[in-house]
Amino acid sequence: MLPGSSRTYLSSDTFLVTNIDSIIDDINPLEMLHGTNFSGFPNHAIQLKVVALVILLRNIDPTIELCNGTGLNIKRFGNKVVQAQILTGRNIEQIVTIPRVDLSFN
């Protein structure tokens, strides 16, 4: 609905190294992970556009209020970063760079 072209960011899906990797690959192929959406966990693919409004789902830097629930306005894209303007809290209008965040669960 927003004008302009979008940019798609994909997750990096890998299994943790274990002594039963071949069994895990047979049970949980990456294609299954790409189609599964868990509450509180990012989707495999996300499309963003400049001027899109987004909300952070993770605490990144509490000192400048980049916390869960912070509203942001997308300004620019990079390969592994997104530049955005803060829309809520005491740092309104500050431009910040959001890096790609690696998540792992044990």
For residues 89 and 43, the model is more confident at 89
67-86 burial, b if ≥16 CB within 10 A, otherwise e?
eeebebebeeeeeeebebbb
Query: Is the pLDDT assigned to residue 4 strictly greater than 60?
Result: yes
Q: How far, in Å, CA of 106 to CA of 25, rounded?
A: 17
Instruction: Name the phi and psi angles at 44, rounded to 5.
Output: -65, -40
Reported pTM: 0.69
Own/partner long-range contacts of 66-70 (Cβ < 8 Å, ≥24 apart): 66/96, 66/98
- State the average pLDDT for the chain: 80
Band of pLDDT at residue 58, cut at 50, 70 and 90: confident
Q: What is the mean pLDDT of residues 39-46?
A: 74
